[in-house]
Amino acid sequence: MTEWLLFWLPLAVVLVSALAGLGIFIAGEHRPILRVSLNLAAALAKVVLVGIMGLLVMAGQVPEFNFALLPGLDFKLRADSLSMLFAVLSAVLWLVTTIYAVAYLERARDRARFFGFFSLCVTATMGIAMAGNLLTFFIFYELLTLTTWPLVVHNGNRESFAGARSYLVHTLGASVFLLVGIIWLYQLTGGQDFIAGGYLGELGLDQYHSLRIVFWLLVIGFGVKAALFPLHAWLPRAMVAPAPVSALLHAVAVVKAGAFGLVRLVEDIYGFELVQTLGLDLPLLLLASFTIVYGSVLALFQTDIKKRLAYSTVSQVSYITLGVAIGGPIAAIGGMVHLVHQGLMKITLFFCAGIFANLLGVKKIDQLDGIGRRLPWTSLCFTIGALGMIGLPPVAGFVSKWYLGAGAVAVGREWVILVLLASTLLNAAYFLPLIKRIWLNEPARAWPAEIDASRLEVFGLVGATLATTGVAVGVGLFAGHPLSPLSWVTGIVTDYFP
Amino acid sequence: MVAEALACLVLVPVVAACLALVLPGRWRWLAVAAGLLPLPLAMAWLTGELGREGLITVAVAGFEAPLGIVWRLDGLSAVLVWLNIIIALLVGLHAAAHYPADKLNGFRFWPLWLLLSGAMNALLLSADLFNLFVTLELVTLAAIGLLVVDRKPQAMRAAVRYLLLALLGSLFYLLGVALVYGQTGTLDLYQAAGVLQPDLLGHTALVLMTVGLLVKAAIFPLHGWLPAAHGNAPGPVSAVLSAMVVKVAVYLVWRLWLWLAGDWAIPAGLTMLGLLGALAIVYGSLQALVQQRVKMIVAYSTVAQLGYLMLLFPLLGLVAFQATSYHLLSHGLAKAAMFLAAANLLTRLGTDQLGDLRGADRRMPLDVFTLALAGVSILGLPPSGGFIAKWLMLQTALAQGGWLWVGVILVGGLLAAAYLFRVLAVLCARPVACPELPVSGKADQLTSLVALGLALAALAAGFVPAPVLKLLATAWPLGGAP
C-alpha cells in the first residue's frame, strides 16, 4: 500500500490540476457553476494531496514516480524537501488565487479559457517543483511557457499581444540555451537525478571548460524566467495580463520557476563546492547584486502601480539567487526561504493592486490619494506587504534579509551587506510614498472608474488578500515554529552543508 | 501467411478502389470500409512477426530476384506503413464528412483515396528499383487526382504545375534506374547494393535518381510546386500530401544513399544534402512567416520541416536515423492535424485569410486548440514526438561537434515558434464584431475531433517512443556508430 502510494502520489499531485483544466475546457463558458466548483475542488484536492506528501517526506519517505521514455531518458517526479517547499507554496497560493480570480473575472469574458490554462499553468509549476532530473524539469519548464501565453494575451488587445510577444521571444530564446546545456550535460554524465551537493563532482579537470560553458547556458535558460539582468525586459511588459495572472506569475509560477531552477543548478546539479572551484560563484553573485539594485532603481521611476511592483519583483527575486551564490548555510537559508516569503508578500501586493484597479479603476500611483478611507482593509494589506518588502519586522521579508546579511558576513563577503542596505533604502523610497498617498493625502472627488461590485465579489477579492497577508505576517512572526518555512528550509540546508 | 498479409496491405485497398468505381450509391461505403479497415489488423500481425524475424522478405508468386519481384518489410518501412494506415483511416474519417461516398464528389474522391493508400503501401514494401518507380508514379497520379477533386481553378493550376515537375522528376529517376540496371544487371535495390561500383557511372546514376526524388520530395530549392499544391488542395488531401506523399520520396532518397550506396563514403555529397535541408528549414520558415493564409503557412511549414529529414545525411548514425524517422512520424501526425484544423476553419468561417480570422477561438475553440497542440510537436517542445526527435538530433549533432547542425535545428525551432504564434495571436485576438456561427452539426464535430485526435497522437508520441525506436534500430544498415 505504501509502496503504491509513494509511486503514484507525485503523479497525482501534478495531474490533479491538469484534469481540472481539461474539465474546465469541457464545461465551457456557459456552465459557470460547474466550472468554478470543479476548479475549487481540484485546488482543495491538491492542497490535501500535497499535505499528505509533505507528511510522508517529513517521515523520511521519498515519493518517486519514474517512467523511462527511452533507456537513459527518465521522466521522474520526486518529492525531496526542496520540492516540498515549492509545492506547498504553489498549492496553497493556487487555492487562494483561484478564489480571488473567480471574483476578479466576474464580469470578464473567455473565462473557461482563462481558468483552463490557469490550471494547466499550475500543473507545470507543480511539475517543476517535483522534477527529479533535468529532462523532467525542462518538460514542465516549457509547458509553463506555453500555458502562460494564453493568460498573458487574455485581454486580447494590442498591448497584451505586444507583451506576450516579448514574453515568448525571451522565454523561447532562453529555452534554446537551456536545451543545449541540458543535452550537453547528458552527454557528460548521462541522465542523473538531482542530488544534494550535486552530481558533477567526479568529473575530471579536463571537463571544467565544458562545465563552465554549460553553467552559463543554464543560467541564461533559468535567468530569463528569474528576470536576472539583462534578461528581465519581458517582465514589466507582461504586466498587461489580468491581476490574478500577474500575481501568480510573480509570486509562484514563472519567476519562481526560474529562481527555483537556479537553486537546483547551484545546489543539486553542480553543488556549491564545484561552483566555487570553477570560479562561478562570484560572477553569479555580482549579477544578482546588480539586478537587485537595478530593479529597485527602475522601480522608482514607474508611475503605474503594477509596473512599479514588476520592477520590485525583478529586484526581489534576485535575493534568492543572491542567497545561493553567497555560499554557506546561513545565506542559503535566506535565499531559499525568500522563495516563500517573497511569494506571499508579492501576491498580496498584486492582489491589492488588482482590487484598486478593478473596483475603482485606480492604476496610476497619483490616483492612490486617500484610497485608505475608501478601501481600508485592502489598503492595510498593501501597507503590510510593502513594509514587509522593505524588510520591517515582523513581516516575512525581514527574516530573509537578516539571514542573507548574516550569511554574507559568515563567509567574509561583507560588501553584500551594502547591497542589501542599498536595496532596503530604495525599497523604502519607492514604497513609502505610496503608503503616504494611501493614508495621508486627501482623496480626489471621484475615482477613475468605480464599479458597483456585489458583496460576494468584494468578499472573494478582499478575503483572499487578507488570507495571504495573514500568512505573510504569520511566517515572519512564528519563524521559530517547527512548521514554519524557515524551520523547513533550515532542515533542507543541513542536507547541503552537513 | 506472411505473403498473404503483405498482399492484403496492397491489394485490399486497390481492389476496393475498383469496387468503389463500379458499385452504385450506398454500396460504395461498403467498399471504402472493406478497403481500409482490414489494414491495421494485417499490419498489427505483421509487426508482431517483424519483431520476431527482424526482416520480412517475400518473393512475389515465388519468383526470386533478379527475375521476380521481392517485397521487403523492415523496421523503417513498417513505421511508414503504420503512419500511412493511421493517416488513411483518420483523415479518411474527416473526408467522409465532406465526401459522402454515395454522392457525386464522393464517387470522385474515394477510389483515388483507396488507390493512393494501396500504392503507398506497395511503394513502402517494394525492394525493386523499377517497381519503386511504378508505385511512385501511382502515388503521384492518385495524389494529383485528389488535388483537383473539388475542381477549383487554383487547385487545377497547382496540380498542372505539380504534374509537370513530378514527371520531370520521374524521368531523372528512371534514367538513373536504367544506368543501375546496365551496370549491375539487376533491379533489386539490395542485390545491386553489393555490385554497383562507386565509379563515374555509379555516381551519375545516384545523382540522377536523387535529383528526381528531391523534386518529388519538394526539398529546397526544388520545392516550388509544394506550397500552391498543399495550400489549395481540399483539407484531407492537403493532410495526406504533407503527411505522406512527400515523405515517401524522402524515404526513397534515404534508401538510395544508405542502402544502395551505404558504403561509398562520399562525405561531400552527404554534407551537400544536409545543407539543402538546412536551407529548406530556414527558407521555408521565413516564407511561412510572411504568408497571409493559414493553409499557406502550414504548407510552407512543411517545406521547412522536410529539411530536418535531410539532416540524417550529415549526422549519419543510428541515433540520427532514429531521430529523423521519428520526426517523420510525429510531423506526419501533427501536420495532418494542422491541415485538418485549418480546413475546418476554412470550411466553417469561409476564409483562411489571417486578417479575417480574429476571434476565431471563440467560435471554433476546438480547432484553434488543435492547431496549438499540433504546433507544440512542430516546435519540438515537450511533451511531444517532435521533442523526442529534436532531442535525439541535437544529441548526435552535439556529440559530433556539428555546431552548424545544432544551430540550424535550434533556429528552425525558433522560427517555427514565430510563424505559429503569429497565427495563434490573430486567432485569439478580439474582433471588432463577431457574428455568431450557426450551431455546429454532427459532421462538423466529427471533423474537429478527428483533427484533435491526430494532434493528441503527435503528443502521445512523446511518451512512448521506446518501442518505435527499437523497431527502427533493427532496420539500420550501417552498423552501430553513435
| C-beta separation of A74 from A49 below 8 A | no
Q: What is the pLDDT of residues A386-422, one digit of tens each?
A: 888 888 877 778 888 888 888 888 888 888 889 888 9
Q: In the block, which residue shows the cell 548574516?
A: A406
**What integer pLDDT is reported at residue A6 of this predicted model?**
85
Cβ B382–A110 below 8 Å, yes or no? no
- To the nearest whole angstrom, how far is the Cα of A275 from the nearest Cα of chain B? 24
Grid coordinates given for A303: 508611475
- ipTM of model: 0.88
C-alpha distance from residue A254 to each of A65, A171, A240 (Å)? 24, 10, 15
Q: Is pLDDT larger for residue B286 or for residue A246?
A: B286
| C-beta separation of B214 from B303 below 8 A | no
* Of the candidates A345, A330, A455, the residue with the CA atom closest to the CA atom of residue A405: A330
- What is the DSSP secondary-structure string of B162-183? HHHHHHHHHHHHHHHHHHHHHH
Lowest mean pLDDT across A107-111, A319-323, B455-459: A107-111
Q: What is the pLDDT of residues B380-400, one digit of tens each?
A: 888 899 999 999 999 999 888
B398, B417, B428 member nearest A183 (Cβ): B398
Identify the H or E element spanning B71.
Answer: strand B70-73
B414, B429, B463 member nearest A176 (Cβ): B414
Chain B contact set for A173 (CB, 8 A): 414
Task: Provide mean pLDDT across the span A256-265.
Answer: 90
B456 Cβ under 8 Å from any chain A Cβ: no
B406, B425, B463 member nearest A153 (Cβ): B425
CA distance B386 to B406: 16
CA distance A284 to A266: 10
Identify the H or E element spanning A76.
Answer: strand A73-78
Cβ B421–A153 below 8 Å, yes or no? no
| C-beta separation of B332 from B247 below 8 A | yes
- Taking each helix axis from N to C terminus, what angle separates B75-98 and B465-473, rounded to the nearest 10 degrees? 130
Lowest mean pLDDT across A466-475, B174-183, B240-249, B280-289: A466-475
| C-beta separation of B230 from B291 below 8 A | no
Q: Is pLDDT larger for residue B262 or for residue A52?
A: A52
Banded model confidence at residue A460, pLDDT cuts 50, 70, 90:
confident
B440 Cβ under 8 Å from any chain A Cβ: no
Burial of A440 (0-12, 13-18, 19+ CB in 10 A): exposed
Residues 6+ apart with CB under 8 A from A471: A92, A344
With 90 as the cut, is the pLDDT of residue B364 above it?
no
- To the nearest whole angstrom, how far is the Cα of A7 from the nearest Cα of chain B? 18
Q: What is the pLDDT of residues B89-104, one digit of tens each?
A: 999 999 988 888 888 8
CA atoms within a 13 Å half-sphere pointing along the CA-CB vector of A362:
27
Identify the H or E element spanning B206.
Answer: helix B200-217
Cβ B381–A164 below 8 Å, yes or no? no
B382, B388, B462 member nearest A138 (Cβ): B382
Chain B contact set for A113 (CB, 8 A): 361, 365
Q: What is the pLDDT of residues A330-345, one digit of tens each?
A: 888 888 888 888 888 8
CA distance B172 to B185: 19
Banded model confidence at residue A1, pLDDT cuts 50, 70, 90:
low
DSSP class of B242: I
With 80 as the cut, is the pLDDT of residue B453 above it?
yes
* Of the candidates B317, B385, B342, the residue with the CA atom closest to the CA atom of residue B83: B385
CA distance between the termini of chain A: 33
Interface of B with A in 318-377 (CB under 8 A): 359, 361-362, 365, 369, 376
**Best interface-test mutation with A: which of B289, B381, B414 has the largest number of A CBs within 10 A?**
B381
With 70 as the cut, is the pLDDT of residue B38 above it?
yes
Grid coordinates given for B381: 517542445
Task: Provide mean pLDDT across the span A461-472.
Answer: 86
Q: What is the pLDDT of residues A443-456, one digit of tens each?
A: 777 777 777 777 77
Residue B99, number of CB atoms within 10 A of its CB = 22
CA distance B459 to B337: 11
How much of chain A, in percent, has pLDDT values that exceed 70?
A: 99
Task: Provide mean pLDDT across the span B348-369.
Answer: 84
Cβ B425–A180 below 8 Å, yes or no? no
Give the residue from chain A lying closest to B362, CA to CA.
Answer: A110
Cβ A143–B410 below 8 Å, yes or no? no
Cβ A179–B399 below 8 Å, yes or no? no
A139, A156, A179 member nearest B430 (Cβ): A156
Chain B contact set for A157 (CB, 8 A): 430
pTM: 0.91
Computed over every residue of chain A, the mean pLDDT equals 86
DSSP class of A38: H
**What integer pLDDT is reported at residue B438 of this predicted model?**
62
**Best interface-test mutation with A: which of B410, B423, B464 has the largest number of A CBs within 10 A?**
B410
A70, A145, A173 member nearest B414 (Cβ): A173
Grid coordinates given for B127: 525492394
Identify the H or E element spanning B70.
Answer: strand B70-73
Residues 6+ apart with CB under 8 A from B14: B114, B115, B118, B119
Cα-to-chain-centroid distance, residue B6: 21
Give the residue from chain A lying closest to B400, CA to CA.
Answer: A187
Task: Provide mean pLDDT across the span B274-295.
Answer: 92
* Of the candidates A242, A24, A68, the residue with the CA atom closest to the CA atom of residue A148: A242
Chain B contact set for A190 (CB, 8 A): none
Residue B24, number of CB atoms within 10 A of its CB = 8
Banded model confidence at residue B440, pLDDT cuts 50, 70, 90:
low
Task: Provide mean pLDDT across the span B203-226.
Answer: 90
With 60 as the cut, is the pLDDT of residue B449 above it?
yes
CA atoms within a 13 Å half-sphere pointing along the CA-CB vector of B134:
11
Cβ B410–A179 below 8 Å, yes or no? yes
C-alpha distance from residue A191 to each of A74, A136, A144, A185, B363 (Å)? 7, 10, 22, 8, 44
**What integer pLDDT is reported at residue B481 of this predicted model?**
46
Rg of the Cα trace of chain A?
Answer: 21
Interface of B with A in 458-477 (CB under 8 A): 462-463, 465-466, 469
Grid coordinates given for B395: 544529441
Cβ A139–B398 below 8 Å, yes or no? no
B407 Cβ under 8 Å from any chain A Cβ: no
Q: Which amino acid is at A322?
A: L
Give the residue from chain B lying closest to A154, CA to CA.
Answer: B428
Task: Provide mean pLDDT across the span A325-334.
Answer: 86
B376, B394, B428 member nearest A156 (Cβ): B428
Banded model confidence at residue B435, pLDDT cuts 50, 70, 90:
low
Residue B453, number of CB atoms within 10 A of its CB = 17
Chain B contact set for A150 (CB, 8 A): 428
Most confident of A27-31, B124-128, B268-272, B333-337: B333-337
**What integer pLDDT is reported at residue A38 of this predicted model?**
87
**What integer pLDDT is reported at residue B12 of this predicted model?**
92
- What is the DSSP secondary-structure string of A143-170? HHHHHHHHHHTTT-SHHHHHHHHHHHHH
Identify the H or E element spanning B324.
Answer: helix B318-349
- To the nearest whole angstrom, how far is the Cα of A463 from the nearest Cα of chain B? 32
Banded model confidence at residue B65, pLDDT cuts 50, 70, 90:
low
Q: What is the pLDDT of residues A122-169, one digit of tens each?
A: 899 999 999 988 999 999 999 998 888 888 888 777 888 888 888 889
How much of chain B, in percent, has pLDDT values that exceed 90?
A: 52
Task: Provide mean pLDDT across the span B38-50.
Answer: 91
Task: Provide mean pLDDT across the span B313-318.
Answer: 89
| C-beta separation of A465 from A472 below 8 A | no
**What integer pLDDT is reported at residue A21 of this predicted model?**
85
**Best interface-test mutation with B: which of A128, A160, A161, A180 has the largest number of B CBs within 10 A?**
A180
Chain A contact set for B382 (CB, 8 A): 138-139, 142-143
Computed over every residue of chain B, the mean pLDDT equals 88
Cβ A70–B383 below 8 Å, yes or no? no
CA distance B179 to B261: 14
Q: Which amino acid is at A67?
A: F
Cβ B406–A73 below 8 Å, yes or no? no
